């Protein structure tokens, strides 16, 4: 897209000034024009010098010098070129606005429903969000009315403040209102959900009403689904009537008739109520104004001379109605009767509760020999059998009997549960024992609850939780002695596993027989040499022989295990000789590699082949 040095449209010229500041980009364009002149002058100078070049090398040197000076000139204006490139890219994204076509302009406060209305009547997809200034630039869409194409422009929201305080977004709307010949739709949010009251919106209307001169103006009251126009307060209604009066004045200034229905319209973009009426009214008023302007122009006489409207005159007073054949009339009558009689599936759905309640009968269109067969129950097949063949016809009676029997069992169990032992049937000694049992039971329950809520309920008690040192080996010995068990081995085992005794070496075990609990008498006078021979190492226990059977291996005795080990070794022997990795190794090695046994033999030894 070439950069527009001169813009013919006044609207486009002012829009460029608002977006990019006319002084800035004109200054950059001036620098580019100066650089163009300098480059042209350098080219002329060096073309003259080329006439005096006495060799090809001298001419090429002049050419390189000319290009170097031109590049230096371009480098000096590189910031201006970068700025102009940014403007060019931004202008390429701007919408194409035709100032001469039929245009509908939408304006108003932010968040009053302008973009929603544009999305409804055009194919544009403008972002709609529940906060202000969602639309930050001009958006263009197109709609049709009476086979004519209309241009619809959605403008950003405008705030009621002085002209100097308005930002670039608001100035885009002001520029479009000032320069485009369009029908203006001023949107008014009567519900106040946009965040601005009707009084503020009316103040904005009066502050920019000078931009509405000589343009069809319609005040659109939006969001009537939240607040109907009739439900407004007297003060708000007064502001609305003032805006309506100003709109009527613009109509009278154009020489039209003051019609209340065309000046003040209501609609709701949420429910689509009145959306098409607003669009049709705006298009109709704009079309009438453009026709009147053309009729008042000087070119109209040249156009009227080309037209001739022919109106046929009747020959006589005899009526000649259209002739329709009787067969066609009968066919139309039949179609109308069928339409009146036949009920569609949609009609049946509305009569029987609507969607989600009504279930369509898919069997009524079946083509069967007998119409009654349509409602027959379809057989349900399970594992190759018809389920209906196994249904007991007396199943309901049997179910009642089962429920009655179950009720009797529940009554009997309830009577047993209600039984509670009291102390009237017991002797005094039995009553004391019962009281002692109940007291002991309550103590156990309370102790269990206390343990459950603390860390004492864990099987291994860390030292930080055993601060009172209740869980000691002495206590364990006392409790085991009270039960009649010798606690010496348990205490020794606990002490050997103690973590606190650091530096203590592990004791040597004398064999697996001792660990398994078998009796083994050791003579106290046995020498240290014999102890060394009975144990290979002080650091580990005696190894288990290969034939010993451990639980879970699946052998009944050691002989069977040794036999199984022997068979396994024999089966692996062939595989090991073939250098196989395992049973699944099926690789076939290449006995004669091609790179060693093919091709010409070169000069030299051939022993390796």
CATH classification of the domain holding 28: 1.20.120.1190
Residues 56 and 111 occupy one common structural domain: no
Q: Which long-range contacts does 512-518 make (Cβ < 8 Å, 24+ apart)?
A: 512/541, 512/542, 512/544, 515/541
Q: Are residues 110 and 178 in the same domain?
A: yes
Are residues 150 and 231 both part of a single domain?
Answer: yes
Q: Answer yes or no: do 235 and 290 share one domain.
A: yes
- The answer, yes or no, to whether residue 340 has pLDDT greater than 80, is no
pLDDT of residue 46: 92
* Domain boundary, last residue among 261, 283, 298: 298
pLDDT at 149: 92
The per-residue pLDDT for range 9-42, each reduced to its tens digit, is 667 777 777 777 778 888 899 999 999 999 999 9
pLDDT score at 423: 59
> Which domain covers residue 43, as residue numbers?
10-93
- Structure tokens belonging to residue 315: 């020959």
Write down the pLDDT at residue 136: 80
Tell me, yes or no, whether 217 and 243 share the same domain: yes
Residue 223 lies in a domain: yes
Cα–Cα distance between 236 and 198 in angstroms, integer?
A: 6
The 103-108 sheet, strands edge to edge? 139-145, 148-154, 103-108, 183-189, 217-222, 264-266
Residues 140 and 206 in one domain: yes
Asked whether the predicted pLDDT for residue 4 surpasses 60, the reply is no
Name the residue with higher pLDDT: 266 or 519.
266
Give counts: helices (H), strands (E), the chain.
21, 8
Span 326-334, mean pLDDT?
91
* Domain finish residue from 298, 324, 339: 298
Mean pLDDT of the chain: 80
Going from the C-alpha of 512 to that of each of 304, 342, 515, 517, 555, the distances in angstroms are 128, 97, 5, 9, 20
Instruction: Indicate the length of the chain as a whole number.
Output: 609
* Tokens (6 digits) for 407: 């009720």
Together in a domain, 89 and 164: no
The answer to whether the beta carbons of residues 187 and 220 sit under 8 Å apart is yes
Residues 43 and 187 in one domain: no
491: in domain: no
Please indicate, yes or no, if residue 40 is contained in any of the structural domains. yes
Q: Where does a domain end: 268, 298, 328?
A: 298
Q: Is the dihedral of CA 571, 572, 576, 579 positive or negative?
A: positive
Judge contact between 562 and 546, C-beta under 8 A.
yes
> What is the 8-class DSSP label of residue 268?
B
Interval 521-532: pLDDT, tens:
444 444 455 555
Nearby residues of 29 by Cβ (< 8 Å), 6 or more positions away: 3, 5, 84
Q: Are residues 78 and 148 in the same domain?
A: no
Distances (CA, A) of 92 to 3, 22, 344, 574: 10, 17, 54, 82
On whether residue 126 sits in a domain, the answer given is: yes
Residue 122 and residue 225 in one domain: yes
In a domain? residue 50: yes
With bands split at pLDDT 50, 70 and 90, how would you rate the model's confidence at 520? very low
Q: Would you say residue 223 has pLDDT above 50? A: yes
Domain annotation covers residue 522: no
Question: Are 83 and 172 contained in the same domain?
Answer: no
Domain match, 201 and 108 both: yes
Q: What is the CATH number of the domain that holds 206?
A: 3.40.50.300
Q: Quick check: 410 pLDDT over 70?
A: yes
Band (422; pLDDT cuts 50, 70, 90)? low
The answer to whether residue 556 is domain-embedded is no
Residue 523 included in any domain: no
pLDDT at 421: 56
Residue 504 has pLDDT above 80, yes or no: no
If one compares 422 and 203, the residue with the highest pLDDT of the two is 203
The tally of domains found in the chain comes to 2
């Amino acid at each position: 897209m070439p950069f527009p040095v001169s813009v013919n449209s006044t609207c486009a010229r002012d829009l460029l000034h608002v977006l990019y500041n006319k002084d800035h980009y004109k200054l950059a364009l001036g620098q580019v024009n100066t650089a163009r002149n300098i480059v042209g002058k350098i080219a002329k100078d060096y073309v003259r010098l080329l006439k005096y070049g006495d060799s090809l090398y001298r001419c090429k040197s002049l050419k390189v010098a000319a290009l170097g000076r031109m590049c230096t000139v371009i480098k000096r204006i590189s910031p201006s070129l970068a700025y102009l490139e940014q403007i060019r890219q931004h202008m390429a994204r701007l919408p194409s606005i035709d100032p001469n076509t039929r245009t509908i302009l939408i304006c108003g406060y932010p968040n009053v429903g302008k973009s929603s209305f544009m999305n409804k009547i055009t194919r544009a997809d403008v972002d709609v969000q529940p906060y202000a200034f969602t639309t930050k630039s001009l958006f263009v869409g197109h709609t049709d009315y009476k086979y004519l194409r209309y241009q619809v422009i959605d403008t950003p929201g405008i705030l009621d403040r002085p002209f100097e305080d308005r930002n670039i977004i608001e100035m885009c709307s002001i520029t479009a209102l000032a320069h485009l010949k369009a029908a203006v739709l001023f949107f008014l949010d009567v519900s106040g959900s946009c965040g601005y009251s009707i009084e503020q919106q009316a103040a904005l209307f009066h502050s920019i009403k000078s931009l509405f001169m000589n343009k069809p103006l319609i005040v659109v009251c939006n969001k009537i689904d939240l607040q109907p126009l009739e439900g407004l307060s007297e003060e708000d209604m007064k502001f609305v009537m003032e805006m309506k009066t100003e709109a009527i004045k613009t109509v009278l200034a154009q020489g039209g008739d003051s019609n209340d229905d065309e000046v003040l319209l209501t609609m709701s973009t949420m429910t689509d109520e009145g959306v098409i009426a607003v669009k049709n009214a705006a298009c109709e008023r704009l079309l009438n104004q453009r026709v009147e302007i053309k009729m008042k122009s000087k070119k109209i006489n040249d156009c009227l001379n080309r037209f001739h409207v022919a109106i046929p005159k009747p020959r006589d007073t005899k009526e000649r109605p259209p002739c329709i054949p009787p067969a066609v009339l009968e066919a139309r009558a039949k179609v109308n009767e069928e339409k009146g009689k036949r009920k569609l599936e949609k009609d049946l759905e509305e009569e029987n509760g609507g969607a989600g309640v009504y279930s369509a009968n898919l069997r009524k269109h079946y083509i069967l020999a007998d119409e009654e067969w349509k409602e027959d129950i379809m057989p349900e097949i399970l594992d190759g059998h018809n389920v209906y063949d196994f249904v007991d016809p007396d199943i309901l009676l049997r179910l009642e009997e089962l429920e009655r029997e179950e009720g009797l069992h529940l009554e009997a169990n309830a009577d047993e549960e209600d039984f509670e032992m009291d102390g009237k049937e017991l002797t005094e000694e039995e009553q004391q024992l019962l009281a002692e049992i109940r007291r002991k039971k309550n103590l156990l329950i309370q102790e269990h609850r206390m343990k459950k809520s603390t860390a004492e309920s864990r099987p291994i008690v860390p030292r930080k939780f055993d601060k009172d040192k209740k869980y000691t080996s002495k206590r364990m010995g006392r409790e085991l002695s009270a039960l009649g068990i010798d606690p010496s081995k348990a205490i020794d085992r606990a002490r050997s596993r103690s973590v606190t005794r650091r530096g203590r070496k592990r004791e040597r075990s004398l064999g697996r027989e001792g660990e398994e609990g078998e009796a083994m008498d050791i003579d106290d006078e046995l020498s240290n040499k014999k102890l060394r021979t009975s144990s290979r190492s002080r650091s580990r226990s005696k190894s288990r022989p290969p034939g010993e059977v451990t639980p879970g291996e699946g052998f009944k005795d050691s002989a069977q295990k040794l036999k199984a080990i022997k068979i396994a070794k024999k089966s692996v022997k062939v595989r090991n000789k073939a250098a196989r990795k395992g049973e699944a190794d099926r690789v076939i090695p290449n006995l004669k590699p091609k790179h060693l046994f093919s091709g010409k033999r070169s000069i030299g030894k051939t022993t390796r082949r």
